[in-house]
Every structure is written in C-alpha cells, then in structure tokens.
Amino acid sequence: MSASVSEPAPRRAILICAAALALATLAAYHNTFAVPLLFDDLQSIGDNPSIRHLWPIWDVLNPTGGYGYTFSGRPVLNLSLALCYAVSGTNVWSYHALNVLIHVFAGLTLFGIVRRTLQGAGRGGSVSPAPLSPLLSADATPVALAAAALWTLHPLQTESVTYIVQRAESLMGLFFLLTFYGFIRAVASPRPRGWQIFTVAACLLGVATKEVAAAVPVLVLLYDRTFVAGTFREAWRRRRWLHLALAATWLPLFGLVAGTGWNRGGTAGFGVAVSPWAYWLTQFKAVAHYVKQSFWPHPLVFEYGVFRAGLADAAPYALVVAPLAAATLVALWRRPVLGFLGAWFFVILAPTSLVPSTVQVVVEHRMYLPLAAVVVLTVGAGAALAGRRSLPVFFALAVAAGVATELRNRTYGNDLSLWGDTVAHSPESATAQNGLGVALYQRGRLQEALAHYDISLRLDPASLTIHYNRGLAWLRLDRRQEAAAEFAESFRLHPRFYAAQFQFGLIQLLMNQPQAAAAQFEQVVRVQPTLAEAHYEWGVALAKLGRPADAIPHYQEALRLRPDYADAECGLGVALHQLNREPEAAACFQRALQAHPDRADAHFNLGLALTQIGHSDDARAQYAEAVRLDPDGVEYQLNLGIALAQAGRGAEALDHLHTAVQLQPGLPQTHCNLGIALAESGRAEEAVVEFQEALRLRPDYAAAHYGLGNALLALRRLPEARPHFEEALRIDPQLDAAREMLDRFRSLPDAP
C-alpha cells in the first residue's frame, strides 16, 4: 500500500504554475544578458579554440590543453559553449540566454519532482514507501511551486547562472534533476522502457558535464528506497538493472577524470599540493557557511580565496556540521524522508568537500543542488505544521529572493564592480586581488593593476596566472624584458600553460628573435594543436626567417581551424607573393577583404599582387583604397604615387609622393620616387634635391644615382651627371639603362 495520494492537479493549473515560475525567473535575471566575460570565462570562451567550430565534433568533445580549465574533461559543457559561439561568437547574449534557460528548466524539473513525490511516486507499488504528511499530499502543487520558486529565485544561485562558465554547475544540475524526474516517470509508467532510457541518458550527460554528477546513482537508489520501494532490498529486486545502468555511468566519468591527469591539471585531487587532512578541516567552515547562506545570503562573495584551518579553527564549525551529518545518518533509518534530504545535501557536496582543491575552498556555486534540500525541507516543514497558511509566507519570501537576485546581478554588471565588491569582502583572496588587477588592466590603468597583482602575488607566490597577468601588464608598458620573465616563470610553474608560452613567443618576435619564437610556437602547438593563433604566429616567425614556403602550411592550418582568420589569409597571401604565386596570393587577399573590407594592408597587398599580374588599373584602385583607409601609410602613399605616375597622372602622383616624404622623411625610397616624378614633370631642379637626399640617406642606392644622373643631364650639367651613371652601374651591373647612358656619353665628340 502506498502513501496517501492526492488527486492530480488539473493540467491547466500545472501549466499556469510552470509559466509563473518561468516568468519570475526571467524577471530576476533580466539584467544579466549584457554581463561581460568574467574570470574563467576569458579562458573557457575567449581563449578556447575548441569551441570555434562544431565540426569535427571530436575536437569539441575532447578539448585539449588547459591548466585545470573549467571545460577540461567536460565535453557536454564544452559543446554547449561551442553552440553559443556558433550563434554569437564572443558576444555574451547567447551564453546568458542559455544559462537562464537552463536554470528555468532546472526549476521546472524540481517543481515536477517535488509535486510528483508529494503525490506519491510509488503509486501502485506493493511496498509502502516512507510516509508523507497528508497535508503535503493534498497541497502537492502549491507546495512544490513554493519550493521550486524559492530555490530558483534564491540569490545564492546567481553565481551558477550569471557567471557564464559556471553553467558547468547549472547544466549538470539540470541533468541531475532530469535523471530523478525520468526515474519517477519510469516508476509510474506502465511502459517504463522509454523513461528508463531517458533516465540513464540524463545521468550520462550529467557526468559528462561535471564530476559532481557521480552522486546521482547513489541518490536515485536512496530515493527508490525512501519514496518508492520502501527498502533497499525491494528497490534492488525491482530495478537492479536500472540502478546498475546508472552506476555504469561512473566508467566514462573515470575516463574523463583520467583525461585531466586525475587532478584537473594539478588543481584538484589527492596528489595536489594541499594535504587531504588540511583541506578537510577547511570544509567544516565551508559547509557551515553554506548552511548560513541558505537562510541569510548576505554578503554574497564571488571569490572567497584559499585559506587553511587548524583543529582549533575548524572546531566551532564542526559543532554545527558534525551534528547535522550525524542526524542525517540517524534519520536515514528512522525518518527516511528527512534522511534523504540530509543525504541530498551532504552527498552532493561530498565530491568537492572530500577531494582536495588548491584553488577553491568555499564557492557559492557548489550550493546549486544542495540548496534544494534546504528549501524543500523548510517549505515542507512549514506546510506540514501550518498548512496552507504558510504558503503565502513562502511565496512572499520567493518574491524577496527574486528582488535580492536582481540586485546581486547588478554587481555582475561589469568586472570592475564585481571584483571591487569581492575585494571589499575578501581582501585576503589572491584570486580577488588578481581579478581586480585584470579589470583595471583592461581599462588601461596599468600601474593600479600592477599594485593589485603585487598584493595577489604576496598572497599566492606560486600562482602561474598572476605571473601571466603581470607579464601582460609589463608588455602593455613596453617593458619586454620584465614581461618575458613573468611569462617564462608562468610556464615554468606549469609547462602545459600554453597561453604564457604563446605570449613569450610573441615577445621574441617583437625582439626580432624569430628562430627562438618559432621554437616556442612549435611547443604551443604540441600542447594545443587547435590554437589557430599559434599556427599563424609560427608562420610569421618562419616568414621572418626568409622561409615563406615553410610558413605556408602553418597559415593554411590556421585557416582550417578558423576559416574567417583574416590575418592568416594575409600572411598566406604575402608568402605566396614572395614565391611569385601571384594569382593565389591575390585570391587570399580577396578572401580577407570579403570578411574585413576595411583592412588597408589587404588592399595594399592585393594591389602588389595585381601589379605583378599586369592588372595595373585594378592595382591602382586597391592602392587608392588603402590610402583612403589609412592616409598615414607611407607604403600606401608611395605605391599609389608610383602607380599614378606610371599611368601618366603626374600631378596626382606628386601629391601622394610628397605626402610619403612628409610621413617618413628618413626613407630613401620616398625621396627617390618623388625625384622621378618631379623629373618626369619637367621639374629637374627639384628632382635633383630629392635624389641627393635619397643618396645622403643611402649612398649605395643605384636607382637614385641613375635618377640624379638623368636630372643633371636634363639641366645640361653633363660633367656632374656622368659619375652618377657610372656609380649606378657599379652598384647594379644589371642596370642596362645606366649602361646605355654611358654609351651615349662615349659617343660624344669630346668623349675620352
């Protein structure tokens, strides 16, 4: 005989409740859609090459590299990020929209679980499940709505919803809840096979999203015993294959954890820098804090920092946590419903409370699912004791919670306000000080940023990310040696931290060390083969070494990984141009301009390629567009002037050549070409001045000697002209025009 069961609520009433819950959640999170990328978002979205394409799907489901990045070993999470990237790139609206949608569905699923449980999940079973209050069963729908609303709108949930990358928690939470919902439906269905498949699939997706989903099989078995079968033996007898299938999801979970080195890149596990005992002592304070935040969520803190606790430090908190844990164990046998709720709280927290972590001791997103036990217990107890009179109170609390959530989300409005708030509440957090430094760095307030980095480094001297961020700041200040030292220290601390090695390679390029830079980029590609930027910069380094043929495959790989990569298209075009493969080069520049028509360098290089092909009119138009986009480009002005002069448009040519000289008076080519144009315009005396200036800057400039000789010849200064033709031929024996002029001199009557 099953527990007393109320008549099911009308479908319309359920739909109205679901719509109200969804609308309330959207109202609470309406101001999150423009919240920028924060903290780990920058690595998991901005610097995550594996999400930039959806095919081949294996690259998305098996992201490589990463120092314990949030997406590491979590293929479903990474796939969800890739889907958002396909929609809006790094524009944040689609990421927030999906996060809110996930949370809405999680709230609706919790509503369904609580409602069906109160109505009698074990309906039709031959064994009595744990008894529930008849009042709760009679008011299953409003009680479930109150619990779901409080849970969904609770401000403690903001970190799991508003902070994009903590979708890891909310998406895992959704699959976790869907597993329970599928199990409940499978139990009640006369044809359970479909719901059983749904249950196992949801569990599998959960473990592929975040490791905490390992708790699902344990809690589903406990739920079966508590609310359906009545005993573990009966639960096993009836549904052993379903429970075994759920437990089998631990096998792929082991594989995913192994893929992160069993310790998420050295950040969590039993072989990391912190001892288990030292970490476990901190968790008494952490769990006690979670309980307090569940009832009074103020202040909320984005990052609490890493702290260590001794026995004396842990004792006051142990006096809170240990009795709760002991009460849960007792209740599991004597008051199974209360025991199940206590187990839900402690078992879900167990993976993060028992497995040592070097980077996080207390974090609010861990309470995403455990909070459900606190809320359901509170609402259930209130409804059981006070009946329907308690429900208006809980709905009023839900409204207040929604307002608090909306206010908390304002703090997330920009990274400076979030990290400023975090440092105010947790000044001894190295991560918070580092985060505030990053926010200041992004606003160009570099000295202030370095001051916070210094505090952060004092608090955590072995942090590779702090060294990395200091390197970025020094690089922005053009202090390359200091920046290089910080990047080198960063990847010394963790050799697979490819971002630091990539930046180190860029500095070597800036310092004109292409050979060393190429070696760095090769190492980066070994760690992160899907990083298009590393392939591109490797190509740049090889091109600087005079090896355009070797550079081409790297540009091509960068484009395969990122087809819209205009820099790689331009680099490939330049390499092909250097190898005289002009039609292919022109095609590269045209593709780059299709994606970015305002790139002056692409217009200019396309002009060079078209010139070599013989399309002079088209080339001239490209030079003109480059000048329009970037009037300060010396090469652009110079080549447009030359092209106009060759087209017989001398006056226009002179304007651009004069501009080129003014922009860079120390460049001999500009003076020489201006001299040529002046000479062709009949202004020989001015031409002489320009040729002389070109030769002052570069005495071995054959074209300038030849041009000066011609200008002097036009001025009938024959004795002065002849030495310049001779010098031009000496410098460039292939200069036939100079040889012809000397032959003319020899044909004169008084020639020696």
Asked if omega into 155 is within 30° of 0 (cis), the reply is: no
Can you give the pLDDT at residue 130?
Answer: 62
Q: How confident is the model at residue 190 (pLDDT cuts 50, 70, 90)?
A: very high
Can you give the pLDDT at residue 131?
Answer: 63
Can you give the pLDDT at residue 126?
Answer: 34
- Tell me how far apart the alpha carbons of residues 513 and 729 are, in angstroms, rounded to a whole number: 36
- Give me the mean pLDDT over the 262-287 stretch: 86
* Per-residue pLDDT tens over the stretch 515-544: 999 999 999 999 999 899 999 999 999 999
477 contacts 461 by C-beta, under 8 angstroms: no
pLDDT, the chain, mean: 93
Q: Copy the structure tokens of residue 409.
A: 């989300």
Whole-number Cα distances in Å, 84 to 78, 165, 481, 595, 705: 10, 12, 38, 21, 62
* Per-residue pLDDT tens over the stretch 394-444: 999 999 999 999 999 999 999 999 999 999 999 999 999 999 999 999 999
- Tell me how far apart the alpha carbons of residues 233 and 75 are, in angstroms, rounded to a whole number: 36
pLDDT of 68 > 90? The answer is no
Can you give the pLDDT at residue 750?
Answer: 55
Q: Which of 14-23, 303-312, 394-403, 604-613 has the lowest mean pLDDT?
A: 303-312
> Interior CA angle at 117 toward 116 and 118, to 5°?
90
Q: Domains in the chain and their CATH numbers? A: 11-36+92-263+274-408 (no CATH), 686-752 (1.25.40.10)
* Per-residue pLDDT tens over the stretch 538-583: 999 999 999 999 999 999 999 999 999 999 999 999 999 999 999 9
- Tell me how far apart the alpha carbons of residues 296 and 552 are, in angstroms, rounded to a whole number: 60
Asked if omega into 56 is within 30° of 0 (cis), the reply is: yes
pLDDT of 122 > 60? The answer is no
